[in-house]
Structure 1
């Protein structure tokens, strides 16, 4: 789809530049329109005669067009040498350097977990952890890193069942294999809260209502518990190591990890399901 859009852009831009810069091009288009109108304006009695001559006329016209194009290219070769790269290079660079995940409407296909993970998802029914005391989310460190966390929802029942199962399995793997105890900071997010966070600035989020997977119960922001306290800051080496492991575990479960984004969000994971987000 991206390639088709880029080619369409190149064709349209080239055609517009040709019409604007080359008077011969405008004249050629005018003659073409006039000739087409003339063909259709012929009366029925003259149609048979026109049909016999149309082959020769089209061949002559094609020859004339080729000659005009070659002649125009020769006369304006310097302009073409500058204009063609100006049109092509931005499109080609955009295709080569862009990542699909950067596109706002991009919905990746669900990554297939390996057989062991698939078996765990199908066979083990995990339950959400016990809710943490509210004061865990109101410490000075938490307020400095996530000042708007007090109004966040941590209700596991509002998450999509498939996403909830993968998130719980990620928590289990992080604890049993890596020694990190995870905590859910925010799961489902109402459209009103999404707009409130967006209004706080781009350092919080760039997504407005219904532009985030949180509104569909398919995203979660998580952090770590150490000695009964939340550790969110990425400046903590222990936490940063945990985020890297968390990203690997999440991706092995077919989830998208925010740590790979241009605006990194290490504690964020989401499950992108086709046909859910409508923009």
Structure 2
């Protein structure tokens, strides 16, 4: 996407240089404007014959105004061109440099992981926790927050190996350090399921097939397991404290946490790897 924006900016810059420096560029624009004004004159004459002088006067005034503006533009083309460049450059800089994450399909890297935490992963192969009972994903409380969760994939082997181990380490730290037992709600998500969820509205997801890292095994939605039940709600202060801690732990492992997004997704984490989200 950034390459496409850079290409558009290059074309815009070349066009402005052509118009400002080379007479052929100005002549080209002059021919277009002159032709347009000539057609307006012709239509004004036809309109005047059909409707009379009163209504045609309005059109004649509009044509005269257009001619006046065109003469002004030709006299001050250097200043106008400089103004266009002055407007275009800051806009492109703001989009690319200030907040590139707002660009569609932008591929950015996660924050640098904590070296001490990453050292815990070195040489360690963490095993997934025991699967939760299927009935845990069919309760009314769960359905209200996460519809169609019962059919979601919770197969750890479908996750990217690197993301798999980082997520398991996050689960381990959350349990041993903070006392929260984590539960995987959904990991890998097929393109068909992604489109199905997107069709349910932006409150579920605004990403179509292959626009989510779930399709690459690089994202997971998680919640908490307390007293034999899933706790997903954001109205529970205990759960919200857990989400904040989970975000801190995930980011220390180099993962991206959905709780910092404009459309906040507190249980979502993902591993951003270059060369994956190119669509």
Same fold (TM over 0.5): yes
How far apart are the structure 2 equivalents of 1:104 and 1:199? 19
User: Is 1:230–2:218 an aligned residue pair?
Assistant: no
> What do the CA deviations read for 1:70-91 (whole angstroms, capped 9, x no partner)?
xx99745774576455434533
How far apart are the structure 1 equivalents of 2:83 and 2:191? 48
Q: Is the 8 A contact 1:73 1:80 kept in 2?
A: no
Q: Is the 8 A contact 2:114 2:254 kept in 1?
A: no
How far apart are the structure 1 equivalents of 2:29 and 2:103? 40
Aligned to 1:221: 221
Aligned to 1:90: 91
Q: CA deviation at 1:12?
A: 4.8
User: Is 1:159–2:148 an aligned residue pair?
Assistant: no
The equivalences for 1:1-279 within 5 A come to 4=6, 7-8=9-10, 10-12=12-14, 14=16, 25-26=26-27, 75-76=76-77, 79=80, 83-95=84-96, 97-98=98-99, 100-109=100-109, 111-279=111-279
Q: Is the 8 A contact 2:95 2:103 kept in 1?
A: no
For structure 1, which segment, 134-143 or 165-174, has the greater mean C-alpha deviation from structure 2 after superposition? 134-143
What TM-score do the two structures reach when normalised by structure 2? 0.72
Q: Is the 8 A contact 2:16 2:81 kept in 1?
A: no
Q: 1:135 to 1:96 in 2, by over 3 A?
A: same
Q: 1:145 to 1:16 in 2, by over 3 A?
A: farther
Q: Is the 8 A contact 1:219 1:269 kept in 2?
A: yes
Q: CA deviation at 1:137?
A: 1.1
> What do the CA deviations read for 1:88-134 (whole angstroms, capped 9, x no partner)?
45334434542x33333333346543332222111322211111111
Q: 1:6 to 1:91 in 2, by over 3 A?
A: farther
Q: Is the 8 A contact 2:19 2:25 kept in 1?
A: no
Structure 1 residue ranges without an equivalent (≥5): 31-71
Q: How many residues align?
A: 235
Q: CA deviation at 1:23?
A: 9.1
> What do the CA deviations read for 1:138-177 (whole angstroms, capped 9, x no partner)?
1111111111211101111211111111100000001111
How far apart are the structure 2 equivalents of 1:152 and 1:223? 14
Q: Is the 8 A contact 1:152 1:186 kept in 2?
A: yes
Q: 1:116 to 1:75 in 2, by over 3 A?
A: closer
Q: CA deviation at 1:14?
A: 3.4
SS in 1 for 2:122: helix
Q: CA deviation at 1:262?
A: 1.7
